[in-house]
Chains A and B, each alone.
Chain A
Amino acid sequence: MRETQGRVLDVAALARVEGEGAMRVRIDGDTVVGVELDIYEPPRFFEALLRGRGYEEPPDITARICGICPVAYQMSSSLAIEQICGVTVDGQLAALRRLLYCGEWIESHALHIYLLHAPDFLGYDGGIAMARDHRDIVERGLRLKQVGNRLMELVGGRAVHPVNVRVGGFYRLPDLDALRAMVPDLQWACGAALDTVSWVAGFDIPDHRGEWDLVSLAGDGEYPIMGRRIVTSASPDVVPVEEFGSHAVEEHVAHSNALHASWDSRTYLVGPLARYSLNQHLLPPVAREAASAAGLGSECRNPFASIVVRAVELLAACTEALRLVREYEPPAAAAVPVVPRAGVGHGASEAPRGLLYHRYELDERGIVLDATIVPPTSQNQRAIERDLWQVAQAGVSLDDAALTARCEQAIRNYDPCISCATHDLDLRIVRA
Chain B
Amino acid sequence: MSASTPRVAVVKFASCDGCQLTLLDCEDELLGIAGAVDIVHFLEAGGPVLSGPYDLAIVEGSITTAHDAARIRELREQAKVLVSIGACATAGGIQALRNAADVQEYASVVYAHPEYLRTLATSTPISSHVVVDVELRGCPVDKGQLLHVISAYLLGRPPRLDSSPVCVECKRRGTTCVLVAHGTPCLGPVTHGGCGALCPAFDRGCFGCFGPADTVNAGALVGRLRHDVSPGTVTRLFHTFATDAPGFREVHALEEVDP
Contacts and interface: CB of A to CB of B under 8 A. Distances in A.
Nearest to A417: B17
Contacts of B258: none
Interface residues of B, number: 61
B43 A142 contact: no
B45 A43 contact: no
A312 B27 CA distance: 22
A57 interface: yes
A345 interface: no
B203 interface: yes
Given A14-B43, A44-B95, A163-B202, A149 B27 contact: yes
Nearest to A44: B95
A161 B47 contact: no
B255 interface: no
Contact of B240 (A61, A107, A334): A61
A185 interface: no
Given A68-B17, A126-B46, A252-B116, A42 B236 contact: no
A425 B44 contact: no
A242 interface: no
Interface residues of A, number: 69
Interface string B188-207: 00000000001101111001
A96 to B, nearest CB: 13
Nearest to B184: A171
A323 interface: no
Contacts of A257: 116-117
Contact of A16 (B18, B44, B94, B241): B44
Interface string A116-128: 1001000011111
Contacts of A164: 202, 204
Interface of B: 12-22, 24-25, 27-28, 30-31, 34, 39, 43-49, 64-65, 68, 93-95, 97-98, 101, 106, 109-113, 116-119, 123, 139-140, 198-199, 201-204, 207, 209, 232-233, 236, 240-241
Interface of A: 13-20, 41-45, 48-49, 53-54, 57, 60-61, 64-68, 70, 107, 111, 115-116, 119, 124-129, 131, 135, 138-139, 142-143, 145-146, 149, 157-161, 163-164, 166, 171-172, 251-254, 257, 334, 367, 419, 425-426, 428-430
